[in-house]
Amino acid sequence: MTGKDVREVFEAILPEDALREVIEASGLQERERKMEARLLLRSMVLAAPAGHGGRQADILAGYLEHGGRPVARCSFYAWFGEALEKAMAAVRERALAFARQEKPDVPGVLGRLVRDWHIVDSTTVKLPDEMIEEYPGTGDYAALKVHKRMSVGIGTTIDYHLSPAREHDSLHLAIDESWRGLGLLCDLGYASLARLRDCETHGVTYIIRLKENWKPKVDRISRCKVRETFVPGCDFDLAVDAGDIDLGDSIFDADVRIGPPGNEVRARMVGVWVKKRKAYCFFLTNAPRSLAASTVADIYRVRWEIECDNKLDKSSLRLDELRAETGPAVRALTDASMVASILVCLLTHRHRLRTRPRRGTTRTQPPIHPQTLGRKLVFACLRIETAMNLEGRAAHDEWDNLAAIFNYYTDPNWRHSPSVLDQMRGWKIARGRPQNLSISAASAP
């Protein structure tokens, strides 16, 4: 990652002129007063990882460190109203729009059928009890859900919205024509026959786990041991119990029908034996058989990337520390954490593109660890603010210095536990020597 990459990301999402337009449009600062709205918006994003106190208290500290004029704490908290919510929403849309126009990295088998894979999931954030009427949880507590759509190729959230945690996930996913040419990865919370039909209608390749209450009927078996007594159209569970289908411990691949007669969905059903669980995992997909059954299972495992992204949002960028007691403040703080998350993921994506080896060659540079970079972002916030106010050679040098700092926060486990996604990108990773051997070799006479 170079200084140019860092500069492009920050100046695209938090630029001076755009922030002034956002502030004017939202009415956040209609007249001259103590608030310096531009510093406030940047502090909300860049101070998201700080863990010295409460979220709003840390934002106040960042605001003052950035050069904001001193303000009483009670007056500062009063700024978290509808105008600030509107301004942060505009910053959010700017960040999402910039993320969506990044070039996805989907080499090899990942991009064989689709231009990108999108993962859909939600994460729940508990709120103070004062918010229970606006954001009721599934119990006697307040909570909201952040419904996220993540691009595998870009490695970041490209869309999200909020809802009360009580609402079911499936209500917040609509497959339409904008999905054409994409791949969908989601968990069982989004599984429905109607959604599978929508994927077929709009040209979306899906991979999803088989629900327990779905009873597939097997029309044709492509890969598995079967007896002569096997009858096409039989119930899968009954055929397995009767021994007509012998699963063994290999791979199952068949054409199946799911749903009631007259309203059935045809799909490809894949089963892969998992040694650790000593059981089969079954998946439904509409991918052709040019995509091997084992590859279908591996691509579904990529869905774990959104779980890692949820961990970045919560553990590094404090999304789960929303202690505000009004709707506008909660939504503004949520947007601040999500924008910070997008910033971190875009920097990680730029670094990955700069350091990726050619397919089939050995990777020699470690990838950036998003959670580590997210936690350290707050320590660079003053330098980022300074760099955005510089011009010419001075700005070039400062952005290069920031890039050198960010490049330092790499994944310490990249050699011995590469992610499934990195492996599917075709990267070869040479294992390093154990540390004790390195030490003994260095101390040898």
**10 by DSSP, 3-state: which?**
helix
pLDDT band at 440 (very low <50, low <70, confident <90, very high): very low
Q: How many CA atoms lie within 13 A of 181 on its CB side?
A: 2
> What confidence score (pLDDT) does residue 251 get?
87
> What confidence score (pLDDT) does residue 318 get?
87
How many whole angstroms separate alpha carbon 339 and alpha carbon 94?
A: 9
| More confident call, 364 vs 311 | 311
CA 441 to each of CA 275, 415, 430, 436: distance values in angstroms, whole numbers, following the listed order: 37, 20, 19, 9
> What confidence score (pLDDT) does residue 442 get?
43
Q: Where are the domains of the chain?
A: 3-103+325-406
How many whole angstroms separate alpha carbon 345 and alpha carbon 310?
A: 12
pLDDT band at 31 (very low <50, low <70, confident <90, very high): low
pLDDT band at 266 (very low <50, low <70, confident <90, very high): very high
| More confident call, 31 vs 22 | 22
- pLDDT, one tens digit per residue, over 212-236 is 889 999 999 888 888 887 888 888 8
What percentage of residues in the chain have a pLDDT greater than 70? 93
Angle in degrees, 0-180, between the axes of helices 3-13 and 327-355, rounded to the nearest 10:
160
CA 360 to each of CA 39, 155, 356: distance values in angstroms, whole numbers, following the listed order: 46, 22, 11
Q: Which DSSP state fits 107?
A: -
Averaged over 353-357, what is the pLDDT?
Answer: 84
How many whole angstroms separate alpha carbon 89 and alpha carbon 125?
A: 18
